[in-house]
Amino acid sequence: MAKESQKFEDAPGTRTVSKSERFLVIGSGSAGRRHALALRQIFPSAAITVVKRSTSQQPLETLRNSDVQIVDSVEYGVLNSPDFIVIASPATMHLGDIAYLSNHCSRFLLEKPTAATSHDARAIHALASDANLHVVVGHHLRFSDTPLALKNAVDSIREESPSGLALAYGQHLRHWRPGVTQETTVTALKKLGGGVLRELSHEIDAVSFVGSPPTVVRSARLSFEGAPTDGQVETSADFLLESDHLTTSIHLDMTTDVPYRHWDAIYSTFMLRADLLNGTVTKIHTDGTREQLFTADTGERDRAAIALLRFSIFGTPKGPVSACDIAQGVRILNTIEAVEQSAKSGKPTEIAE
């Protein structure tokens, strides 16, 4: 059983870190680099190490310029006895990584998705429970200004609940990780847990905190064409999820040339639209009139990343949406696998509890 790091001191709802804080990030891809730089922003003098195991060419100069050490193995990474670990490796490696690292640390941020399969996600859940690990899953949009503004707008309308949600994200694979060969990215490879269902699982997560947890996949359609992948990962997905008194349509797409990310809450005479790329929430009436409800300040993405890390490390007081825990992460994988089954069978599929 992993022991609680002595660098953390418990207090009601908070945690503190000693002056000699040490952080480890597993993975040097875009998520790993982003977390390492956010840690440097929070802790200007901390010892931060990134493990780069991939042979792919990744832009690491910013890390080096930020005094982040780069090593080539997890074994080297734990030599510094980290107080907190970010696991941003491919989803297929999450179970093996946390199983090994739980012998060296007890507090983690685990990048989404929790794992590549619900089987591995359940194993991570069991490990965390048995070893008394503190694990937050990296669904950073729960901490982002625009989704939270949409959540607040939905909650403020007490006379009516939304009849449905429509969540859509489209962006061609070549725009996701500039400077990296598209065919070798995590997104493009089945063996690394790629595909839009897992890589864009923020939309699936949002159904539960904007609306209510889905119970059934009513229908699903997947495509495997239109982007440079291994041909085994889905490049677009369209599916309907049903919750109590709520139907959600989701479209995920890595083939479109014009990026967009819209989350709509649909009512009888209007809808609330969160435009996540532009950072706005707008009330759109059926007669076409629009009322701007919210505009995010610049730097929303960085603020969300820092807020997620702060919560994971310190247990900073929660906002209107709590962080994603492993049990919720398992449910997201259950939903993804129900979508895959529904697309294969052409029939509605219940989502496992």
Q: What would the pLDDT profile of 1-10 be if each residue is shown by its tens digit?
A: 333 333 333 3
What is the crossing angle of helices 94-101 and 118-130, to 10°? 10
Give percent of the chain with pLDDT exceeding 90.
Answer: 80
CA distance 58 to 162: 43
Q: Is the pLDDT of residue 119 over 80?
A: yes
First to last CA, the chain: 27
Q: What is the pTM of this model?
A: 0.91
What does the block give as tokens for 69? 């050490």
- DSSP, collapsed to helix, strand or coil, labels residue 145 as helix
Sheet-wide strand order for 69-71: 69-71, 47-51, 22-26, 84-87, 107-110, 134-137
Sheet-wide strand order for 216-223: 290-295, 280-285, 270-275, 260-266, 164-170, 246-253, 236-243, 216-223, 349-350
| pLDDT score of 20 | 60
CB count in 10 Å sphere of residue 69: 16
What is the DSSP code (8-state) at residue 250? E
| pLDDT score of 131 | 97
The tens digit of pLDDT for each residue in 40-81 reads 999 999 999 999 997 777 789 999 999 999 999 999 999 999
| pLDDT score of 96 | 98
Contact 343, 239 (CB under 8 A): yes
Average model confidence (pLDDT) for the chain? 91
Closest listed residue to residue 154, CA positions, set 207, 198, 194: 207
Burial class of 253 by CB neighbour count within 10 A (0 to 12, 13 to 18, 19+):
buried
The tens digit of pLDDT for each residue in 276-309 reads 999 999 999 999 999 999 999 999 999 999 999 9
CA distance 139 to 227: 25
The tens digit of pLDDT for each residue in 194-243 reads 899 999 999 999 999 999 999 999 999 999 999 888 899 999 999 999 99
Q: Is the pLDDT of residue 87 over 60?
A: yes
| pLDDT score of 11 | 33
CA distances in angstroms from 112 to 77, 85, 106, 326, listed in the order given:
21, 14, 18, 10
* 223 DSSP β-pair partners: 236
CA distance 64 to 285: 50
Backbone angles phi, psi at 279, to 5 degrees: 70, 45
pLDDT higher at 300 or 315: 300
Cα dihedral 303→309→311→315 (10° resolution): -150
